[in-house]
Structure 1
């Protein structure tokens, strides 16, 4: 069992896919059954102390504070004598697995009464004979202090790349508001009472489009020993808004499929948050990118490369306050300074930073002459400054050849901002795997 206090909180207790879009830049390489007792979390470990050796992220998501900007979910009320079951797809496989749970934004200690992992069958059902109990410091239950995160004990559990796993948590005691991820692109299931060991999904009669407490599934014993993992870091276009739910069609999912198709799967994890901004916190879309980068990228095991696709919300939401608290307007200089901070943080940990150009906004709610000029200026800097190690020209990959300020009609989810499945596929196809 591994516990750590989140750096963001004070702890308590313990598109047409035209050309290759990875471009060389100046200064960068050219690219074409334990006892059922409770465990109490002990002293925390920092990101630099984590036992990352040979572990890689199979799946991950960024934790968010409880909020309901687009309609009801389970985060604000939390859980009491309920079981929550969540399905994730791992990008790479191994012979051992462990899960990370987050109480980063909880106001009280989180009691995990019990947890299981299994191979997914269909919906909330799991495959017969695959269900295993998770343990925490040798115990079936655990307490996660407010502001902290907890990783389960390593479990012998063979997984294959692109395999779907089901993680189930039984929460007997009232949790209070829940740390969650708003847009999970996969369905979560809830049942009344203790159904953590159910194979069938019939008891899970409630569903949600968000995920709760679960922030990572890590694997070891696979084909690689770590150090080559990829983190996709960004906003809603990384998070997969506009893609088909439960289909794993976000661009990082598609990128993982490309690696797997070569016979050499690699860790690809998605640390996108819809609505996230580079330069400023929001009341529902997470901490600013320059702050959360430490946990969401540097805190991931086995990372070698980060793809940064961030900034369109700084441009489009600045001064509008379309959802939640109004955000001050952000200048191009401020946005570039934020990107430079991300690059410095990555390089300080030996991680390669790939800058992704901002995708088109023409015809969307963000469209204006001022915003388009800012987007063009930021993209010009990403393409020409040489400060990123390489460039992923996702603007070029998704733009309409007839009007490059707009997303191509075939790639448009309908809001003229977010790609659809075909658009996310084009984004992933445009990346040069050898440059990652």
Structure 2
């Protein structure tokens, strides 16, 4: 039996729990959103998951279409499909809930780029989004879902807004890979509009069989909320509820350590930054206990769990010697505990041999914390694809 599998995802966030990209943006009302996503593995039928999971009020979705993306925000003629909801062309999305479109026939090769357009006739009071987008999207006044070319009055949309997943019915049975992580998973530091996060590059390597869902949130932590809900809090929604789930990669915990051991000075350069991360500092034992919780919850569903070691961040403003010692302790446990079904040693890939507490200069984007395109490519290339067979 061939079942649905998720081939693209973006973890939902409240707009005020992101990086602030929507601050000052005009309200979403009587406007079309056009957004581009690149899937991993392909299929013959598609459905889109829209989200109001952090919304405080219902919103009206007046019309929606999906098609193969053309350059410059266009849609390839003949590929466009009208999306319906229980057969209706419009729907009200309840506050706190997602909603799935009806499936439509649309043959899609692996790594296809989709254009998703949705019209919002009324005002969206609170936008559930993913911040930042790293792929350009647009707002267009009025109902423009049927426009094949991007209208001249389109403006940039700085977040992923109101969409959280694309799911496909593949030609042969397939299983999905979900990566849970922070900004290094999200792709921070990579070139926008190039799909150079390491999970997307992993999908490129895997080809037709790699149904990868990137559930990274920039600034995310394992144990405490702050920028996005914690990995422990969002694991059921973002991971265990994924159609076709077969493998989970945990690449989270670095922010828990870095923020817990960061310099604490109410008047220092990090004071405003640290205010985004509530909760008491955590210990390495706390982080390890968090990993054990996620392992148990995944294994209960029969899902294999892999972990990446925490890559260096020496030279970054938030770095301290105490944080480095904690990172090394957690990495030693990840490598030697046997708690995971496999370990992806990203620390070994990125560290500078002459300065093991730092990322190689050609692998970070200039901040000693986030990857460059080459750095993310090195991570993806280091993954043993047989783990997902």
What is the Cα deviation at residue 208 of structure 1? 2.6
Give the 5 Å matches for 1:347-358: 347-358=299-310
Q: TM-score, normalised by structure 2?
A: 0.94
The answer (yes or no) to whether the contact 2:29–2:121 under 8 Å persists in 1 is: yes
* Residue 424 to residue 323, structure 1, CA distance change in 2 (3 Å): farther
Q: Secondary structure at the match of 1:185?
A: coil
1:309 aligns with 2:257: no
Mapped to 2, the partners of 1:69 and 1:184 lie a distance apart of: 11
Q: Which has the higher contact order (CA 8 A, sep 6+)?
A: 1
Contact 1:55 1:220 in 2 (8 A): yes
- Once superposed, what is the RMSD of the aligned Cα atoms? 1.7
8 Å Cα contact 1:53/1:301 also seen in 2:
no
Q: How many Å separate the matches in 2 of 1:145 and 1:229?
A: 28
In 1, Cα distance between equivalents of 2:94 and 2:24: 17
Q: Which of 273, 282, 292 is matched with 1:330 structurally?
A: 282
Q: Which one of the candidate residues 389, 395, 398 is aligned to 2:341? A: 389
Residue aligned with 1:336, SS: helix
Could you list the runs of 4 or more consecutive aligned residues of structure 1 that deviate by over 3 angstroms after TM superposition? 68-72, 74-78
Contact 2:18 2:228 in 1 (8 A): no
Query: SS where residue 14 of structure 2 aligns?
Result: coil
Whether 2:173 is the aligned partner of 1:225: answer: yes
Shift in Å, 1:88: 0.2
Q: Distance in 1 between matches of 2:63 and 2:152?
A: 17
8 Å CA contact 2:19, 2:132 repeated in 1: no
Do structure 1's residue 293 and structure 2's residue 235 form an aligned pair? yes
3-state SS of 1:362 partner: coil
**What pairs with 1:88-103 in structure 2 (closer than 5 Å)?**
88-103=37-52
Distance 1:153 1:70, change over 3 A: closer
Q: Give the drift of 1:314.
A: 0.6
Does the 8 Å contact 1:136/1:152 carry over to 2?
Answer: yes
Q: Distance in 2 between the 1:380 and 1:303 partners? A: 28
2: CA distance, partners of 1:352 / 1:130: 36
Query: Deviation at 1:68?
Result: 7.3
Residue 265 of structure 1 pairs with residue 212 of structure 2: no
Change (3 A) 1:430 1:278: same
Residue of structure 2 equivalent to 1:28: none
Structure 1 pair 68–93 and aligned structure 2 pair: CA distance change class (3 A): same
- In the superposition, relative to structure 1, how do residues 348 and 71 fare at CA in structure 2: closer, same or farther (>3 Å)? closer
Give the superposition deviation at 1:205.
Answer: 2.2
- Structure-2 change in CA distance of 1:286 and 1:70 (3 Å): closer
**Aligned-pair CA distance for 1:72:** 4.2
Per-residue CA deviation, residues 250-276 of structure 1 (Å, 9 max, x unaligned), is 10111001011xxx4220110000111
Q: Provide structure 2 residue ranges, at least 5 long, that are not aligned to the other structure.
A: 265-272
| Deviations 1:156-178, CA, capped at 9 Å, x for gaps | 11111001000001000111110
Q: How many residues align?
A: 378
- For 1:420, the equivalent position in structure 2 comes to 372
Rounded Cα–Cα distance in structure 2 between residues aligned with 1:69 and 1:329: 21
Give the stretch that moved more between structures: 325-334 or 65-74. 65-74
For the residue of structure 1 that corresponds to 2:15, the secondary structure is coil
Contact 2:2/2:170 (8 A) holds in 1: no
Query: Any conservation in 1 of the 2:5–2:170 contact (CA below 8 Å)?
Result: no
| Residue pairs, 1:62-73, within 5 angstroms | 62-67=11-16, 70-73=19-22
Cα shift readout 1:142-191 (whole Å, capped 9, x = no counterpart) = 01110111000010111110010000010001111100000121111001
Structure (1/2) with the larger helix percentage: 2
1:381-426 deviations in Å (ceiling 9; x for gaps): 0000000111000010111111111001110111101011000000
Q: Secondary structure at the match of 1:335?
A: helix
SS for the counterpart of 2:286 is helix
Contact 2:18 2:131 in 1 (8 A): no
The normalised TM-score by structure 1 is 0.84
